[in-house]
Structure 1
Amino acid sequence: MTDGGAEVAVSLVVADDQASVREALAVMLDIADGITVVATATNGAEAVAAVSRHTPDVVLMDLHMPVLNGVEATGRIKAAKPEVQVVVLTSLDDDESILAALEAGASGYLTKEADRAKIEQAVRTAADGQVVLAPEVQRRLLTLASRRARAADEREEFGFTSREKEILGLIGEGLRNPEIAARLVISEATVKTHINNLFAKAGFHSRAEAVRYALSTPAPAPYRFT
């Protein structure tokens, strides 16, 4: 994360109900270059309160927590402070969990199999406003995006061109601009132009919003962890 060319430390809140995991993450990330852990939380409610106090750049959020689960906490955080990025770090990698987190406003999703370097990079990438998805999550999103391609083709509310729809689908798969350019055999500048156009048409303010729209379905029943 930079400010006028100078490196600025990314402020971070770590939320996990398992003390050993929470403390290990907090120590590991606080000593990482360019990251400062400003608070930890043992449940979703504490995470929301910590964000209210500190307004961090990023929250590293577990999903299965007491009092208030990670999905609900993410929704409250994004409603109150949309500039705060939430990266999910969880053992859950099923479709329902992934979609619930993204729809709540998470801009990243990693499983706890991720190593130290991947977690550090995810925090930095999210702070820069980019989407962060674990490879296994990308594979699931690819399946979901393919399954919903027909429904996406039928949506005309924003007047997307066929190419814009195609690029939106690839964004939904978690691909970055260079990867989209390679897939479609077009220049990265052309990809950026199409993305700017579809963002303007749909009123998207971030890539995370585009991902959620690309994967959107009729409103599901309220999500709950058991």
Structure 2
Amino acid sequence: MSDGIRILLVDDQELIRLGYRLVLEAEADMQVVGEAADGAEAVRAAVELQPDVVLMDVRMPVMDGIAATAQIIERAPAAHILVLTTFDLDEYAFGALEAGASGFLLKDATRDQLTRAVRAVHRGDAMLAPRATRLLIDTFAAGPERRSPQPLPQLTDREHDVFVAVGRGLTNAEIAASLFLSESTVKTHIGRILTKLDARDRVQLVILAHRAGLVD
């Protein structure tokens, strides 16, 4: 199990953490390496354990999930944070996305949805429902900084195509199929795009694509 996805569970309700642990540890490629009951504990645990994925509740005592997400991004930058929320349009969840989370998942998600979400953020895909993506764009990408469609000279033509596809919310597999590339090539392009545009993750790329007017 040492080569599995290392997961940190963060929720102030012990029974919820237990439920997630039972589901995730039944998967051959996942292991729960730690738990935390509030944001401050989560930050300490993330720095110590260096997990691959953090399942992060947003409404907690001591320190909420938004502040914890921001600190973990700064102090354990390799961790991908998946926010747990009760409502799909929760303003706390969007605050965590702005702080650097890779996506969010409803607490009533099925076992399959949970495991797919963990694998998705671990491989670098954003985890956003279509309705949530629309609100994310309306919240962070609208306003005076939105521009007419324009090229980004720092990107090659192929990187531009991949960037637009990410902005449309496509996964690596969907981008690979639509552009006739291998998934490994798509991952390479996305890594270069992140570097050139100084973006941390796919959520930021979605926002940038819409701000640039490249995606409807």
TM over 0.5: yes
Structure 2 CA distance for partners of 1:120 and 1:130, relative to 1, 3 Å? same
Q: Separation in 2 of the partners of 1:215 and 1:26?
A: 37
Q: Separation in 2 of the partners of 1:159 and 1:19?
A: 50
Q: Mean alpha-carbon deviation: is it higher for 129-138 or for 22-31? A: 129-138
- Show CA shifts across 1:86-131 (max 9, x none): 1111113326334311121111211113111111111122222221
**Deviation at 1:75?**
0.5
- Show CA shifts across 1:56-89 (max 9, x none): 1111001111110001101000100111111111
For the pair 1:45 / 2:40, whether they are aligned, the reply is yes
147, 150, 156: which one pairs with 1:153?
147
2, 9, 15: which one pairs with 1:20?
15
For the pair 1:120 / 2:112, whether they are aligned, the reply is no
- Alignment TM-score, normalising by the size of structure 2: 0.75
32, 48, 55: which one pairs with 2:50?
55
- Does the 8 Å CA contact 1:74/1:101 hold for their aligned counterparts? yes
Q: Separation in 2 of the partners of 1:157 and 1:172?
A: 14
Q: Separation in 2 of the partners of 1:112 and 1:18?
A: 12
Instruction: Could you list the structure 1 runs, at least 4 aligned residues long, displaced by more than 6 angstroms after superposition.
Output: 163-167
Task: Within 5 Å, give how 1:1-226 maps onto structure 2.
Answer: 8-94=3-89, 96-141=91-136, 148=142, 151-153=145-147, 159=153, 168=163, 171-177=166-172, 179=174, 187-189=179-181, 192=186, 198-199=193-194, 201-204=196-199, 206-214=201-209
Structure 2 CA distance for partners of 1:99 and 1:165, relative to 1, 3 Å? farther
SS at match of 2:146: helix
Structure 2 CA distance for partners of 1:72 and 1:178, relative to 1, 3 Å? same
- Does the 8 Å CA contact 1:142/1:172 hold for their aligned counterparts? no
**Deviation at 1:20?**
1.7
Partner AA of 1:92 in structure 2: F
- Alignment TM-score, normalising by the size of structure 1: 0.72
Structure 2 CA distance for partners of 1:151 and 1:32, relative to 1, 3 Å? same
- Show CA shifts across 1:165-197 (max 9, x none): 897565345332565688xxx6344x9598677
Structure 2 CA distance for partners of 1:108 and 1:70, relative to 1, 3 Å? same
Q: Separation in 1 of the partners of 2:162 and 2:138?
A: 16
- Does the 8 Å CA contact 2:137/2:210 hold for their aligned counterparts? no
Name the count of aligned residue pairs.
Answer: 206
RMSD: 3.7
